[in-house]
Structure 1
């Protein structure tokens, strides 16, 4: 009797979704991680490799004859080249996030990849009769490259969350995002290989020895090859991305076709699903279809969306500031020599080697620590810990900054700096990507993830445009290259630490999603709960005739 009563009281999810939640980890899960993850590999490669070639672009196109400086991009050009892809990414996240909920995840998944392949190649073919022409063409293609990259964020996260079982869902989504670390590593490795190869076969003297010869014709080919290489991994995964079926959660809960959802999942995950009463259950679960701008969404998920968007914004202000301007920070502390002591390709080699070392020792391990512990510690604990540790290490860099810039002390600076990247990735850089794909209803999941990710890219733009100016030498008399005086690297680090503290505070608006089904987190099974409650009420109030 107790067991029968419990069955009446426990709401049942759709069988196909329950089967997904309980499915054992299978080969297809790993295939999905690689296929979706290669998009993020390409994303990271394309977004971060530009920081490796901006010095080279300055030396090639903006060198002034007779100048003691090898040349660098003017402030407005540098901010445009670094930031225009983020503007495109911001637009793509909003557009493809919305489109993924309207047309389906798979229907628009291939568009993003095609854009990335075409625009990666086109970026390397940027042509013009002048420096302005080349930079304008480059910025145009990098905007559309960013547009394609932006679409990959909500689609890949949503697809992986909707394929995964609830026990290891966090690890699967984190593994997709962790491919970003390999993309950053690949960008540095390709830059090292290309610059070393060209420098070997087309050697050039340091700038102070022969300014005219230090930037030879090979340098103009090098930056183009580095940018174009980003098309390769995306092109290799296009076929497999097109072979992926639509997710069962979209098919069942948004398209309302439980039969097709069950058939798709039976084919790829080898699960058996009885579909006799599924359609009726679909109607109950999806009967409450409030929209994004409705009062009910605001009451149920308004604070959640504020939490995911604000934490991602604050994280990206710090994360992209650090990533895009590592070369300037390393030069400031003396880890990379003065540009005049190197050839153009030699400078690229030194910058790429420094950034690759940071990625190898801090960035990549941080991502995979998240994969290992996300379903053990939970999203909230990892996010708060990451923000706290990033704050601590940035303060540790800023307070004794003059000590770190003294000759011989740059090794300690680099170690602490690497730890900030480790705890960014074993922390909010991963969790801000994971959580929005779990806590919102299926019909709005891709849209809300796109909004959260777009808020992050606003933060990246603040980092790309703002840090470029703020980190300049605070003494106007010592400011060169056309930059206005800023607050200096030290005070910029204090400012970024403050962003991390705010991010930790806003993390308390985001619910924990560890170990729960997507429908339980988002409240989509409330229709089933009401039906179950009604059934339980009937069960408790039925009368049993008694014979005398």
Structure 2
């Protein structure tokens, strides 16, 4: 009876693996992807408005330079969302495996919508109280964003067929690129509108009028608009059924799984007569069986995501300071507050348009042909190479009056391209494919949380290195020399380490989720390796040395 039930279960899963691409797949990409659109918009638009926040709330009367956020305030505004995201990834990943993906999916979206609006409505009579309120809402915003990582990845992996699974999961994550782009475009439009309505002289001409009172509305409008796309997709997210794989493998109801799949994917499937009972003894995340089967996989996915995010978030959050350091953006003292916001947004939008967004979609197009392993390995390699190309001849790029800033920006943009046509996409895809269904969201959440720990290290570490490191101080408190250069060397080293840990991650191209996780293999007391372990690239070293 157990064999018949397992075969019955496998028929449902085989149908999922062989299902043709349906319109619903594309709908699911958009609905799940809107969470990542909001994620990127909210996390990265704050890097655009922090300059404005400093000029509004921390300007000092009679000071020769515009106001800037104190380092500890800047760290808090950037870091508190990452702490919330890390917490949400762990909590909602665990909850998604316990209660089901569907039951908690809408909660994360509503948190994101409400806290985006709350961030823009941050109140207080003093700068400290406004920043404290902003940090409070950004923590809970991050908590909701964190939940979207394991749930969206797991849902998409469990809906897709094995031939297109990588592209579909990567497409969900690629919406993050559009979120970064939208943040820049919205900032350009809003700042341009307010500049036209409330023109202000440059700071060096009239410091008192260079930041008009209306600038306080600008950052609030930019932050709150991030809630709109997520709110528009809430209805469709609530209508999504539970994934058939969760229903069959975790809830042990193949009959309902078959019915759901037939309805959603328009696939005719014979109705199952019995409720499937999984005969395998379940093992937990902290069990020896999990360590034997997937311990090195979890180490690989967590370590690579950790190292990647140190570099990726350092680049994104502080690129405004890098652009100022190399002279691509003029000194703040030569511009009004809204002019500065406009120029920073324009620079970040150009980088997103030319490097960030294309990189995501190159991954979508090629991941199921080239494979996750080679895209990730190549991405880490080229990121390291371009960062070293920036760091070694750093003074060549930044020399005053030499005109080499364009070359710096081109190489800098290429690091973003290969981050996204590389580990920033694959570290999201792979954890949703190689772990068993009852631990899939949890393991993805652990891997993603390791990434956000890297983002925290990167954001605080870059801030430390970029300050008080050189004699040539810029107008905003960051140094143009040793700080940025040392940061680039360190980030290049992180990418080289990422290449090494990539060898622990198996290739999942063209394989079913059950084949990768060893879902249908009996649990043994020793050596019970999952089928996916055979794809581990520890063996690549042997091939290269032949």
Give the TM-score normalised by the residue count of structure 1: 0.92
The question of 1:351 aligning with 2:351 is answered no
Whether the 8 Å CA contact 2:255–2:273 is kept in 1: the answer is no
Aligned with 1:223: secondary structure? helix
Q: How does 1:88-237 map to 2 (within 5 A)?
A: 88-237=84-233
CA distances 1:57-76 after superposition (whole Å, capped 9, x unpaired): 00000010111110100000
Whether the 8 Å CA contact 1:15–1:278 is kept in 2: the answer is no
CA distances 1:237-265 after superposition (whole Å, capped 9, x unpaired): 00000000000000110011111111111
CA distances 1:94-119 after superposition (whole Å, capped 9, x unpaired): 00000000000010000000000000
CA distances 1:300-354 after superposition (whole Å, capped 9, x unpaired): 1010000000000000000000000000000000000000000000000000000
The question of 1:417 aligning with 2:412 is answered yes
Aligned with 2:408: secondary structure? helix
Q: 1:326 aligns with which of 311, 319, 323?
A: 319
Partner of 1:545: none
Distance in 1, Cα, partners of 2:477 & 2:398: 24
Whether the 8 Å CA contact 1:388–1:504 is kept in 2: the answer is yes
Q: 1:374 aligns with which of 342, 367, 373?
A: 367
Q: 1:338 aligns with which of 315, 331, 337?
A: 331
Whether the 8 Å CA contact 1:14–1:278 is kept in 2: the answer is no
Tell me by how many angstroms 1:480 deviates.
Answer: 8.2
Tell me by how many angstroms 1:469 deviates.
Answer: 1.1
- Which residues of structure 2 form unaligned runs of 5+? 525-546
Tell me by how many angstroms 1:479 deviates.
Answer: 8.3
Q: 2:490 aligns with which of 482, 495, 503?
A: 495
Distance in 2, Cα, partners of 1:430 & 1:141: 28
Aligned Cα root-mean-square deviation (Å): 2.0
Q: How does 1:26-37 map to 2 (within 5 A)?
A: 26-37=22-33
Distance in 2, Cα, partners of 1:138 & 1:201: 27
The question of 1:507 aligning with 2:502 is answered yes
Partner of 2:285: 292
Partner of 1:542: none
Aligned with 1:373: secondary structure? helix
Whether the 8 Å CA contact 1:160–1:172 is kept in 2: the answer is yes
CA 1:276/1:38 → structure 2, altered by over 3 Å: closer, same or farther?
closer
Distance in 1, Cα, partners of 2:478 & 2:427: 33
Tell me by how many angstroms 1:272 deviates.
Answer: 2.0
Tell me by how many angstroms 1:283 deviates.
Answer: 2.4
Partner of 1:365: 358
Whether the 8 Å CA contact 1:469–1:485 is kept in 2: the answer is no
Distance in 2, Cα, partners of 1:218 & 1:158: 43
Distance in 2, Cα, partners of 1:482 & 1:467: 13
Q: 1:455 aligns with which of 450, 455, 469?
A: 450
Whether the 8 Å CA contact 2:296–2:504 is kept in 1: the answer is yes
Tell me by how many angstroms 1:486 deviates.
Answer: 9.7
Tell me by how many angstroms 1:14 deviates.
Answer: 1.8
Partner of 1:84: 80
Partner of 2:517: 522
CA distances 1:363-398 after superposition (whole Å, capped 9, x unpaired): 000000000000000000000000000000000000
Tell me by how many angstroms 1:500 deviates.
Answer: 0.2
Distance in 2, Cα, partners of 1:271 & 1:477: 66
Distance in 2, Cα, partners of 1:248 & 1:66: 65
Tell me by how many angstroms 1:168 deviates.
Answer: 0.4
Tell me by how many angstroms 1:475 deviates.
Answer: 2.9
Aligned with 1:14: secondary structure? helix
Partner of 2:542: none
Partner of 1:537: none
Tell me by how many angstroms 1:491 deviates.
Answer: 1.1
Partner of 2:541: none
CA distances 1:161-216 after superposition (whole Å, capped 9, x unpaired): 00000000000000000000000000000000000000001101100000000001
Whether the 8 Å CA contact 1:290–1:296 is kept in 2: the answer is yes
Give the TM-score normalised by the residue count of structure 2: 0.92
Partner of 2:543: none
Distance in 2, Cα, partners of 1:125 & 1:475: 38
Distance in 2, Cα, partners of 1:56 & 1:390: 31
Tell me by how many angstroms 1:525 deviates.
Answer: 1.7
Whether the 8 Å CA contact 2:325–2:479 is kept in 1: the answer is no
Whether the 8 Å CA contact 2:468–2:478 is kept in 1: the answer is no
Larger Rg: 1
Partner of 1:309: 302
Distance in 2, Cα, partners of 1:511 & 1:308: 10
CA 1:15/1:350 → structure 2, altered by over 3 Å: closer, same or farther?
same
Tell me by how many angstroms 1:11 deviates.
Answer: 7.5
Tell me by how many angstroms 1:481 deviates.
Answer: 6.8
The question of 1:398 aligning with 2:394 is answered no
